[in-house]
Amino acid sequence: MSDQFAHLIIIQPLGFLYGSAGPFLSPDNLVGRSGNSFPPSAATLSGLYAAQQSQPGTNKRGEATHNLNLPDLFLAGPFWAYTDNPQNFYVPTPFNYLAEINPPEDGEAIRQGKITEKLTWNRQSQQWQPLKVGKFDTKTWLPINQWEKAETVSEAPWQYLPHLHPRLEVEQRRVDTSLARGSLFLENSIQMHPDTCLVYLANTPIDNGWYRFGGEGHLVEVKCEQITNETILRLLNKPVGDNFALITPAVWGSNRLSYRFPAIGQGTDWKTAAEWEKAQVFTERPLPFRYRLGGTGQTKRLARGRYAVPPGTVYVLEKGISQPWFQWDKSWFPCEGYSYKRWGCGLALPL
């Protein structure tokens, strides 16, 4: 099976989605948004494949288990799109594009904006130019059809709607006040604009249907279709060269440490991969990255907590990389259970 992406996985929420949850509440902590994480990562989507295509088996201890027989599965995301045109999905705007979102006009509309300036790396002065002072909107999204000639951007089409879940006693419909961890649970649920959907890339199709996705039992409708947008196919197959931007989070380094660049193990040391030496980077604060490895018990095993370079990060290399992302060296990606390349780690497009 090829590493190349050939399918769009389109996820339409049937109500709220899970935006991660805060801690159990106490009288001293009645509000909060700890652990926010939305949209769900590609590792979350892989759980749908596991639920649908895993095979029953037995582990070394004789316990019943399920094994996912998809060693060549590759996913990437998250992105979003308007439901009437999922082929032109939106990706994180590169950080060197300075954007301004228009003032709100309609409470139901998704605000649009424009790119006012594009910064480029000047090798002589060793600066991003032109030098700009002022406030610009961050966390904007760019339609993939405009990747090669960026003009307009959009804000994210979702909002957080925190609400409380009471933890009830087993045999009575009243709050269980005896729990040491508290009796109320704050869920930071997400409401997406009704005309939008989440989009992921995959090299393996999945059956259309309704699935529970992203935690707290929220239902979504999943559709799978072939990638027919020539712009997407061309960008995914084009060598990234010496100037490119990430459209998904990137975890680089060893299985224990996280870096800004791919690192290769040399004995007990880890050194930056040769292609990435003396690279310039335009980035922001790292993002926490963690996923569940699975297991046979009620509580699934968690992967090691890592920090990811955020999507939108721009790299400028001295020599460049002569391959598209799907041909990148797998040794650049950490491996914990699976290679992080499986989750579309560091998917990059040329600028």
Q: Residues 279, 344: one domain?
A: yes
Q: Where are the beta strands (DSSP E) in 119-250?
A: 120-122, 127-129, 141-143, 152-154, 158-166, 184-192, 196-202, 209-212, 219-226, 241-246
Q: Residues 82, 170: one domain?
A: yes
Mean of pLDDT values over 334-349: 89
Share of the chain above pLDDT 70, in %: 78
In a domain, 46, yes or no: yes
pLDDT at position 68 over 70: no
CA atoms within 13 A on the CB side of 313: 24
In a domain, 117, yes or no: no
DSSP state at residue 276: G
**pLDDT on residue 302:** 63
Q: How does residue 135 score in pLDDT terms, banded at 50, 70 and 90?
A: confident
In a domain, 125, yes or no: no
Q: Residues 189, 260: one domain?
A: no
Identify the residue with better confidence: 306 or 140: 140
Q: Residues 68, 168: one domain?
A: yes
What's the domain count of the chain?
Answer: 2
pLDDT tens-digit readout, 219-277: 999 999 999 999 999 999 999 999 999 999 999 977 777 889 998 887 778 888 999 99
Residues contacting residue 41 through CB under 8 Å, at least 6 positions apart = 77, 78, 249, 289, 291, 343
Q: Which one, of 241, 302, 317, 307, lies nearest residue 272 by Cα?
A: 317
Q: Residues 176, 310: one domain?
A: no
By three-state DSSP, how is residue 302 classified? strand
Q: Residues 282, 350: one domain?
A: yes
Q: Residues 80, 206: one domain?
A: yes
Structural domain harbouring 40: 1-91+152-229
pLDDT tens-digit readout, 72-125: 889 999 999 999 999 999 999 999 999 999 988 776 689 999 999 999 999 888
State the Rg of the chain over Cα: 21
Q: Residues 81, 208: one domain?
A: yes
Mean of pLDDT values over 134-139: 87
Q: Residues 181, 59: one domain?
A: yes
Q: Residues 169, 37: one domain?
A: yes
Mean of pLDDT values over 191-204: 95
Q: Which CATH number do you get for residue 315?
A: 2.60.40
Query: Which residue, of 197, 229, 261, is where some domain finishes?
Result: 229
Identify the residue with better confidence: 167 or 49: 49
Q: Residues 259, 223: one domain?
A: no
Q: Alpha-carbon distance 139 to 78, whole Å? A: 13
Q: Residues 252, 225: one domain?
A: no
**pLDDT on residue 311:** 97
Q: Which of 21-35, 62-76, 259-273 has the lowest mean pLDDT?
A: 21-35
pLDDT tens-digit readout, 156-188: 999 888 777 666 655 655 555 665 655 666 677
In a domain, 99, yes or no: no
